[in-house]
Amino acid sequence: METNILVADDSEYFREQIRADLEGNGYRVLLAEDGAQALSIYRSHDIHILITDLEMPVMTGLELCWHVRAEDDQHRTFTILMTGDTETARRIEAFDSGADEFLAKPIDLSMLRARVRAGERITRMHRAMVEMLHTDYLTGVLNRRYFMERLEQAYRAAKEKGTALAVAMFDLDHFKTINDTHGHSNGDLALKRFADHCAARVPDGGFLGRLGGEEFCLCLPAGDLETALAQVEAIRRSTAEIMVETGAGSSFSFTVSIGMCLIQDTDSINDLMTQADEALYFAKRSGRNRTVLRGAEGVTVKARFYVM
């Protein structure tokens, strides 16, 4: 994984000196001439290490550190603050603002590289821990807790901007029979195969999570409702083609039922999930292996497509 380093300093000489040294050691370096520009770059890139001067125009390094730490509650970015000020009180202020390391100017480049390597180790550990906290242990997709956090954020943003959003709940059909017939280990394998299959088909701007058991949920943009429906239907149809090979030399396939709901037809995140769940229940009750869309009157109903 390439390490992205953001260097913020109002001195072009120091920016270029640090950039040349770090790029010469294999790092990808982005530059900013003040704190405000650095914050904008930070928000649009995945920054592993931030190296910032203390005194800068528009926004100081202390203010920049405070903003980064406020937005980076998972500590994915390691922050190094540089200054010619050696007063202890100033250093304490820097650490209180969220800086992880403090280096005095003029910068010793060999020491800076050592601090960068230490920062890499720390951020790599934090990122691995965050990945574990956010990921379902069996399937590798988002776990229920983090999926719901992401969905809350997406829901609020869509409501504020007036953009279209949909959720689709997936439930593997006759999953108890799969476990009873082929064993729980092969049932787990079926879940993993479906998660991989579905994750490979998540559209841009969408995200997938496992809610629990054999139930998954996909959040996807629905600016073009017909396209969103077609994407979900493509997952349903192709799921029947998945073949799970068991350790005993046999194989089996399975189907999936889907309940879909649009954000425009709901008043809250709970309402959204309730309506999607109701559509899923209708899909299961009415024969399984079908997609049911809650609301959205006037949508063309296709094969195995139902509108409640």
Domains of the chain: 4-134 (3.40.50.2300), 144-307 (3.30.70.270)
Burial call 210-229: b when 16+ CB within 10 Å, e when fewer? bbeebbbbbbbbbeebeebb
CA atoms of 129 and 145, how far apart (whole Å): 15
Annotated catalytic sites, by residue? 214
Residue 56 CB: number of other CB atoms within 10 A? Answer: 23
The confidence score (pLDDT) of residue 303 equals: 35
Residues in the chain: 308
Pick out the chain residues at pLDDT < 50.
296-304, 307-308
Would you state the pLDDT for residue 230? 92
- pLDDT for position 141: 96
CA atoms within 13 A on the CB side of 177: 7
Return d(Cα 230, Cα 214) in angstroms, integer: 22
Give residue-wise pLDDT tens across range 126-184. Answer: 888 888 889 999 999 999 999 999 999 999 988 888 888 999 999 999 999 999 999 99
List, in order, residues 6 or more apart from 34 with CB less than 8 Å away.
8, 10, 56, 57, 58, 59
Residue 39's alpha-carbon distances to 29, 49, 77, 103, in angstroms, are: 15, 13, 12, 20
